[in-house]
A = this chain, B = another copy of it.
Amino acid sequence: MSSIKNTNIRLTLPVVCFVWQIAMIILFGVFIRYDEESNTHWVETKAHNNITSDIENDFYFRYPSFQDVHVMIFVGFGFLMTFLKRYSFGAVGFNFLIASFGLQWALLMQGWFHSLDPQTGKIFIGIESLINADFCVAGCLIAYGAVLGKVSPVQLLVMTLFGVTLFAVEEYIILNLLHARDAGGSMVIHTFGGYYGLAISWVLYRPNLHQSKRMQGSVYHSDTFAMIGTLFLWMFWPSFNSAITDHGDGQHRAVINTYLGLASTVLTTVAISSLSQKTGKLDMVHIQNSTLAGGVALGTAAEFMISPYGALIVGFFCGIISTMGYIFISPFLEKTLKIQDTCGIHNLHAMPGVIGGIVGAITAAAASESVYGKQGLINTFDFTGDFKDRTVLTQGGYQAAGMCVSIVFGVVGGAIVGSILKLPIWGDPADENCFDDEVYWEVREPATHPLLFTIQPLGGAIVFDLV
C-alpha cells in the first residue's frame, strides 16, 4: 500500500516557496528596519554617544563569530547529515532550503518577541539579530536530523515554520520571563530542537522502515563527507557559544571553556567507541557525532566561571554518555518507544542539552562574589533592572525551570506538529523509498550502480552478490 504514495511535489513545493517568500517580503516591508549601527545615521549616533571610533560598532565584536556560526548552520549541519550512502543531496540541499527560509521567519518571530520597538512598531536588526536568527534555525536543523530521509521538503518547511515559531516563544519565556542565561542554547536550542525532532519522529513512526534498510548505511566517501560537517561544527563551536555573550571577558571566557570541553569529549568518545567493539575498532558514527556533545553541554555554562578544569569535566562525561547513547539508547528508543532517530539527535543534542541545562543551573547556583567579583556577578547574570535583587540560588532555580520549559515545548510542540505532518498531502516517501535521493532529486547516475554490488573473487571465478 505504501508503495503507491505520491511523492510528486511539483505543485506544493513551488507554491509553499513562493507564497511564504512573498509573505516574508511583505512582513519585512512592514516591520524590519536597520538598527542604529547599520544605518547611515550611525555617523550621528556616534557623535551623539561620544563614540570615537567606528571599531566600537557591534559589528566588529561579533562578525567573525557570526560567520563561524553561519558556517556551522550551512556546512556543519548540512554535511554532518551526508553520511548516508545516497542522501547527500537531501542532507545538504534541504538543510540549505529550510535554513534559508527559517532565518527570515526567525528575524520576524524573534523581533516581535524580543525587540519590537513600542514607539515605531518596527523591529530594528543588526549583526546580533542575524546570529540569533541562525541560532533559531539551528533548533530546526537539529530536528531535521531525527527525520532525515523520511520526509519531503514540504514537510521540512512546515516543520521549520512551526519550529521557529515555537522557538521564539520558548526563548522568550526562558530568557525574558524567567531571566535564565543560555548564551549557547543548551536549553533553548539543543534541548528544544532535540525533543521537537524526536516527538515528530515518534508521531511519524514507520513500522516498515526496514524496507529501505539497504539505503540506511554509509559508504566510505559519504562518511568522509560527513567528517567535514563534524569538524566545522567542532572547530567553530567556541564561536557559537560566545557569539552573543558579553563583550570582552564574556566572549573570551566562553571560547576557552568550549574549546576545552570539546577537546575532552573527543578522548572519551574514542575510548567508549573502542570499548564497544570486540577488537577495539572505532565507529565513525560515534566520531562524527559524540565528539560534539561537549559543545552542546557547555551552551549554558560556557560564559560562567566554570573554570577550565570544569569545562574538561563536562566534556569528559558528555563524550561517554553520548557514545553510550548511540550504543544502547538509540536501539532502545527505536524498539521500545518507537522513535526512529536517523542521526541520533537524542544522543548528540537532547541528552547533552539537558546535561548542559543542569550544569548551567548548578554553576549559576554556586556562583559567588569571591569568584566573580561584585560587578562581574552582576554582569554575568545580568542582575539589573527587575532582577537586581535576584540571588544566585534563585537564578539556579530559574535556570532549572527554563530547562523544563524547553523540554515541554519540544515534546508537546513536536507531537502537535507531527500530527499535522501526518496528513497525506505532503508528498512524503514510501517506506521502501526512504533515504534515497532519487525521490526528490534528478540523479544523473543510473539507479543501479556498482555500490550496490559486492564483487568477490572465489577460487578462480568471480562472484557477484547483490547487497
Contact = CB atoms under 8 A, between A and B. Distances in A.
A39 B303 CA distance: 10
Contact of A18 (B223, B271, B380, B457): B271
Nearest to A32: B308
A61 B88 CA distance: 37
Nearest to A134: B259
Each complex incorporates copies of this chain amounting to 3
Interface in A216-242: 217-221, 223-225, 227-228, 231-232, 234-236, 238-239
A51 to B, nearest CB: 9
Given A63-B255, A101-B263, A231-B96, A43 B373 contact: yes
B448 A456 contact: yes
A128 to B, nearest CB: 11
A284 B104 contact: no
A82 interface: yes
A279 B13 CA distance: 11
Nearest to A304: B40
A110 to B, nearest CB: 14
Nearest to A225: B224
B8 A224 contact: no
A227 B90 CA distance: 12
A332 interface: no
A189 to B, nearest CB: 19
Contact of A224 (B65, B89, B264, B464): B89
Contacts of A427: 280
B235 A70 contact: yes
A57, A227, A305, most chain B CB atoms within 10 A: A227
B13 A270 contact: yes
B283 A24 contact: no
Contact of A41 (B33, B260, B376, B444): B376
A379 B442 contact: no
Contacts of A450: 450-451, 453, 455
12 contacts: A25-B312, A34-B256, A34-B307, A38-B253, A43-B249, A59-B248, A63-B251, A67-B235, A96-B291, A104-B312, A127-B252, A280-B440
A309 interface: yes
A457 B466 contact: yes
Given A248-B57, A256-B126, A379-B43, A34 B100 contact: no
A295 to B, nearest CB: 12
Interface in A50-100: 53-61, 63-65, 67-68, 70-71, 74-75, 78-79, 82, 86, 88-89, 92-93, 96-97, 100
Contacts of A313: 25
Nearest to A223: B89
